[in-house]
Structure 1
Amino acid sequence: MYSRSENWIGVNGLIRSSELQNMDLIDLLSERHTLVRRMAENVWNDQSDLSISNSEWSIMARIYKKQPTISHVTKNVDISRQAIHKFLKNLSAKGLVEINNVENNKKEKCVQLTALGEECYEKNMNLKAQLENKIAETIGMEQVNKLKELLQLDWDIEKIRS
């Protein structure tokens, strides 16, 4: 068992902050992403009777205020086509999305959030804003803004791959 002074950054196997010092950029981004996603999911699930996974949130983010086709969602979410269909079925069963036929296309279907889906999505956006504020209280708003600016830059990653 570790004491509080050893500065754990999470639970369920996440590493101590002292171990972050030896990580490269890719692993640091991954660790922090995993931590804040897990925290956001837990905050939502602790406050709501309607459990929604991070993958489901990711899909909901792509369809919020839109009516994309399922194939468009599949191309823009880094989840397998089969899994997206499963998540959409789950979201539909929870009353968060509705799936409709596309006019003049018998194969394609479109998806949109229901009123409940939009309400949940907007509440979750507020919870994430509160989490961001707590991070800002710890590391400072200036640092949060700098981090956001860096992450929004065009890193030209496609050139790096070649």
Structure 2
Amino acid sequence: MNIERKNLDLVDLISERHGQLRKISEQLWNDNSSIYISNSEWYIMSRVYKKQPTISYVTKHVDISRQATHKFIKSLEAKGLVEVNNLENNKKEKCIKLTSLGEECYEKNEALKANLEKRIAEQIGEEQLAFLKQILKSNWGL
């Protein structure tokens, strides 16, 4: 997909590229795995990787409704990608962590995304990609 329409503002350009990259990333995963994982589930897995946060912490730190976050966590648990456990000394809170399968899937997906980034660098150049990343990471004062 080539974004050539004239007069797109910054927000629309970023949104279109984001959508394009998410779609490609999801397709790459689905072409290489029998386990379907939605973008929202990846988002949750990224917050849990190598950590054991509480479910309430995850819910507060993802831009997904509380109910949807709980639904996605249940789906991830049913797929064997996360496990939910009671928190020590706290009967209300539960913590979540990736299973070994969940970590394996997350790491494979990170490798697929790194390959996608490499393909982008081949098209626009290493320096341009580094510059783009620097701009996206910088403080925009918003």
TM-score by length of 1: 0.86
Q: Which amino acid aligns with 2:3?
A: S
1:1-162 correspondence runs (5 A)? 9=1, 16-19=2-5, 21-157=6-142
Which runs of 4 or more aligned residues in structure 1 lie more than 6 Å from their structure 2 counterparts after TM superposition?
A: none
Deviation at 1:156, TM superposition (A): 2.0
- Cα offset, 1:154, TM superposition: 1.4
Tell me the SS of whatever aligns to 1:112. Answer: strand
Q: Distance in 2 between matches of 1:109 and 1:154?
A: 34
Query: 1: CA distance between counterparts of 2:87 and 2:57?
Result: 13
Identity of aligned residues (%): 63
Gaps of 5+ in 2: none
* Structure-2-length-normalised TM-score: 0.97
Q: Which residue identity does 1:115 align to in structure 2?
A: S
Distance 1:90 1:143 in 2: 39
Q: 1:17 Cα deviation (Å)?
A: 1.8
Aligned residue pair count:
142
Higher RCO structure (Cα 8 Å, ≥6 apart): 2
